[in-house]
Amino acid sequence: MNRVPPFLIALPGGLSASGVVAWALRVCNGLVARGGRAGIVVHAPPGGQAELAWEIDPRVRVWDLRDLCRIEDRPGDVGAFVPRYREAIEALARGQSEPVIFSPNLVGDCYAIAAALSQVIPSQMRVVGWLHNDIPYEYHVQRHYARLISAFVPVSGRIEETLRAQLGAERRGDVRRIAYGVEVPAEIARGECGGRRPLRVVYSGRLEETQKRVMCLPELSRELTRGGLAHELVVLGDGPAAGELARASADVPSIRLCGGIGAAGVREVLAQADVLVLPSRHEGLSVAVMEAMALGCVPVITRVASGASELVEDGVSGVLVDEPREGEALGGAMARGVQRAALELAAMSPEAWRRARAEFSLLAHLERVCDLLTHVAGQPARSWPTNRPCGFAGAGGAGSSGSVPADGAARLEALLKALSGRRLFIHGTGRHTLELAEVYARFGSSIVGFIDDDPAKHGTTLWGWRVLSPQEATDGTDVVISSWINQGVIFARRGVYEALGLVVHALYEPESSARAPLPGRGATPQTPAWVSSAELA
């Protein structure tokens, strides 16, 4: 093969259960197997996420930063990470004529590390922006660091289309879509599908509610039982919702929570399962679904804007589930999808495998990645301006960051003055709010409480105020959207507030906010009934 430049991938979430981790390790393992150089930088995982024992080729260089703080613990302050990343890039570049291609991922401050390095070793590094998720934050990070990025790599057609619309015409030629790839066996040997035994249903992935919506799984199982469909639902993975899911599943005998069992264990379970369920609110291009299809396990997934129709042909290679009707539980809608799949397993299983083999083979993926790396290595070096902060998150106060524009504080102060005497809920407890703490403090007498869409934050407090769900905003008069990146998404869902008689206020003009279209631990591991403990070892 032709010489391929060295490739370094950042994993800001550590080695937790994640499709991005699975992708990164497949790529690095594949590159070193071809004689190339590849490495990963592993950060400490976010709170509530366990790490797995992944299969890493010993030729893949690993830089372990888990002795440092988590990257989200010191927003905008990446100084402790920069020397370790420089060491990684210089080690991979040693003896090579090509620069190291560096892929920061998921977190704006990973790109901040690249920005800082570009100011000291620009000739040794080129940056690629991999877009894994169809969310405003992902697009915003790419736009913020666009002058640093040599190529943008969306993983789905939807993400590619959205990104091209947001980048200027001069950068659209730097967008190269590359779908993920997985190992697909040359043939599959499926046993009896359903029939006289219970249907084998699997969820595999991060146990999290905001995106993955795993709390619908107990109701899904109850609905299948009420419908007379004998089944076992095995849940593989770990994450912040694990404890809550375990409590909600305690009275559902058909659910088994297995925790994180590693990549080999996941393959063993999927090879013997009938159906994979994925009730996500949004995705990029789900690796978990590809892995299931490659083994003939039929996916039943929500019809999200990005990736769903690229993966599954509804009724042929899987089932796409529409968002539930008003007043209907998501678990019920997912259960109907599983019931549809159960009727056609014998036909859908081989079709799922054939689609994975034709569209998502790891070999084809690696070829496209190698072409990308070679192309990017030939591009001119890019450096981050020295008169702009490298950090994505800001420390607060005056100035701008990736979360707050330069006029953000002035806009907020003007709005809060205009609403003096009203009873205000502030929607958002993230970086935008935290960086504008001084402004909120000056108008504290008007604030009733804070609102957040993340269920994990409900019932907590911020600066002494309650953090509630949108439905609990019952004793105020107005809602102020405290977000630049997600303002458009939040404003589009303002109906929940207007139904309560509240007036909703946005800080920024629509063209100033993120322009992405609306995207649509604690459990005791148990071995799945149909897989032996030895197979999971």
Q: Is the pTM of this model over 0.75?
A: yes
Q: Which residues of the chain have pLDDT under 70?
A: 1-2, 48-49, 190-195, 395-399, 511-537
Q: pLDDT by residue (tens digit) across 32-73?
A: 999 999 999 999 988 756 788 899 999 999 999 999 999 988
3-state secondary structure of 126: strand
372 backbone dihedrals φ, ψ, rounded to 5°: -65, -50
Query: What gap in Å lies between CA 286 and CA 301, rounded to an integer?
Result: 10
Domains and CATH numbers, the chain: 7-181+362-377 (3.40.50.2000), 199-359 (3.40.50.2000), 408-506 (3.40.50.720)
Check residue 533 and give its pLDDT: 38
DSSP-derived pairing of the beta strands 478-481 and 465-468? unpaired
3-state secondary structure of 405: coil
Q: Considering only CA atoms, which of 24, 29, 25, 35 is closest in space to residue 1?
A: 35
Burial of residue 434, with CB atoms counted within 10 A of its CB: 0-12 exposed, 13-18 middle, 19 or more buried: buried
> What is the helix (H) or strand (E) element at residue 7, kind and residue range?
strand 7-11
Check residue 342 and give its pLDDT: 96
Q: What angle, 0 to 180 degrees and rounded to 10, lies between the N-to-C axes of helices 345-359 and 287-294?
A: 110
Check residue 416 and give its pLDDT: 96
The structure tokens listed for 6 are 């060295």
Check residue 137 and give its pLDDT: 93
Q: Which residues contact 535 (CB under 8 A, 6 or more apart)?
A: 265, 268
Check residue 465 and give its pLDDT: 95
CB 515 within 8 A of CB 486: no
Check residue 516 and give its pLDDT: 35
